[in-house]
Structure 1
């Protein structure tokens, strides 16, 4: 349960920071929300399957800014060969989240935040897992994260409501860009995200949250 909270919250903070620094991405996300949901009500879970670009923004944050450098360790039950590597029985296996998500042999411009890379076509739905292990968000397979549906929903609805409810900009009297430096001790933002939010919906919409 703790992982289901930490992983989505870290991804959303990074996604919002990246999107503030790239206003065209933030604008496209806002337009999708206005088209699918409108401005007379708050986005709900039932809307998420139609918010492909929002999900792509979340998935790109999981790819580029994982919550931890490695996945949880697994132990091989028998000798096997995976990707040309021989793995002895009882080996402890760790996959590098950062190494997979930022692999230049797999991802074009791997250090650039580009949500559109996850949209194959307009008819295919973006899912936050990657069964081909080009990145790790909630793991996969029989031993994958049991909270993948919960974590995916939490991350997507949180980012969607933040973007739908407010126009975001860097704080006044700042250089104009959010500092995207990583913390030395982990992969989180070196400094907590501080941004200037302006309500973009009618006042009566916010009253439903009270």
Structure 2
């Protein structure tokens, strides 16, 4: 017997039921049909897991069966820059600054250089490209579920994706050419791309083409920028909304770091409340609200229900994080919940505690999980320790969501920052 399911329409199935916010629509359906729910999407089978137990069954017990992906269309100088804006009295457009900072952080680790020298038109174009790619990738493309009409590209997704990939190809080509021209400067101290280029040919294996290398860099930049930047933006918005939490975080950092220097990465293990804020943000505002889909290799059984071969699996991470059967007062932003001990220790986002799986779980867990968590803690901690935050006078804080592959704020956070440290700390 298949899992419980909502009714649908001829040909398109349940696609019209998802609306513009599929993670919310699916969470509402799960209240009626249960934590394992089957949907007919065009000609494709789809199953949605909406509880920790269901997620554990699919991603742990049946991990081997759901390891494939379905085919588809699809040290930063940030405090110094923000200090200059604060001196001019200009508000900070948070997502723009964060996306640029994350791109530069990844560029430094992979290419030994910052991607953007200044926050200008080039960085704004990159931000648009990343956000648009994530938006398009998060859409339920009709052609993916009804292959016979995929050639029509009814939603224009494939055409837009091709144009974006061409733009990214130009940007990556420029980066790689500049990197190759400076290879002699890194002799004896290679970076990530140097190592990849030096090992393009593997004995008894396929050669890495330039297309492969560009795809690797593209995945790194895309997966590592918008997700981390969005998490920091949501965390700052929640702290501005809850000044008591912001004040407590700053007091913790003042005790550990003092106010004569900026936060360093080695300080992070000594900042449990900051870590709790990051976990609470990942719970309430998971970067990817619906997990990147998997597809079953063979038929299987889950909770007594039959799951056919080639069924697409989505885990509703957003719904799990807001489930009152899992979390006490789930709609309250309360970092203290992660400072309380549970029976077997604290809940951590590493893929073992299925109440909190913002990076997925199992063998297809996000490969950049450690870098992502460290980057979010470091950048959020730096911003909170270095500045006081407040909204523009008379402005309201909009906490609405915009759906995509990555969960964005519908209205970007714009805030006034006031330095908390001596001028010398921002210039170091």
Task: Flag whether TM exceeds 0.5 (same fold).
Answer: yes
- Please give the residue correspondences for 1:12-91 in structure 2 after superposition, counting only pairs within 5 Å: 12-83=232-303, 85-91=305-311
Q: Deviation of residue 4 (structure 1)? A: 1.9
In the aligned structure 2, how far is the partner of 1:127 from the partner of 1:72? 20
- The structure number with the bigger radius of gyration is 2
Cα 1:80–1:37 change in 2 (3 A) is farther
Supply the distance in 2 between the matched residues of 1:17 and 1:160 (Cα, whole angstroms). 14
The corresponding residue for 1:182 is 401
State the SS of the aligned residue for 1:133.
Answer: coil
Q: Deviations over 1:19-42 (max 9, x none)?
A: 111111111111111112111221
Q: What per-residue deviation string (whole Å, max 9, x for no partner) do you get for residues 110-162 of structure 1? A: 122111111125xx777443522213311122221110011111111010000
Tell me how far apart the structure 1 counterparts of residues 259 and 364 of structure 2 sit (CA, whole Å): 41
Counterpart Cα distance in 2 of 1:5 and 1:188: 12
State the SS of the aligned residue for 1:142: helix
Q: Distance in 2 between matches of 1:16 and 1:171?
A: 14
* Count of residues in correspondence between the two structures: 204
Structure-2 change in CA distance of 1:33 and 1:89 (3 Å): same
Q: Is the 8 A contact 1:55 1:127 kept in 2?
A: no
Per the alignment, residue 109 of structure 1 pairs with: 329
Q: Select 1:93's aligned residue among 299, 303, 313.
A: 313
Mark the CA change 1:47 to 1:81 in structure 2 (over 3 Å): closer, same or farther.
farther
Inter-partner Cα distance in structure 2 for 1:57 and 1:165: 17
Cα displacement (A) at 1:16: 0.5
Q: Is contact 1:36–1:51 with CA below 8 Å preserved after alignment?
A: yes
Q: How does 1:116-135 map to 2 (within 5 A)?
A: 116-121=336-341, 127-135=348-356
Kindly provide the CA deviation profile for residues 144-201 of structure 1, in whole angstroms up to 9, marking residues without a partner as x. Answer: 1110011111111010000000011121233xx5221223667321211011210001
Q: Does the 8 A contact of 1:58 with 1:128 survive in 2? A: no
Matches of 1:148 and 1:42, distance apart in 2:
25
What CA RMSD, in Å, does the superposition of the two structures yield over aligned residues?
Answer: 2.1
Separation in 2, partners of 1:117, 1:92: 33
Corresponding residue number in structure 2 for 1:168: 389
Moved more, 75-84 or 128-137: 75-84
Distance 1:62 1:8, change over 3 A: same
Q: Report the counterpart of residue 162 of structure 2 in structure 1.
A: none
Cα offsets for 1:5-25 (capped at 9, x unmatched):
211111110110111111111
Are the equivalent residues in 2 in contact too, given 1:180–1:189 (CA < 8 A)? yes
TM-score (norm 2): 0.45
Identify the structure with bigger relative contact order (alpha carbons < 8 Å, sequence gap 6+).
Answer: 1
CA pair 157-128 structure 1, distance change in 2 beyond 3 A:
farther
Q: 1:126 to 1:198 in 2, by over 3 A?
A: farther
Shift of 1:3: 1.5
Aligned equivalents of 1:109 and 1:78: distance in 2?
39
**How do 1:141-152 and structure 2 match up within 5 A?**
141-152=362-373
Residue 360 (structure 2) pairs with residue 139 (structure 1): yes
Structure 2 distance, partners of 1:169, 1:83, is: 48
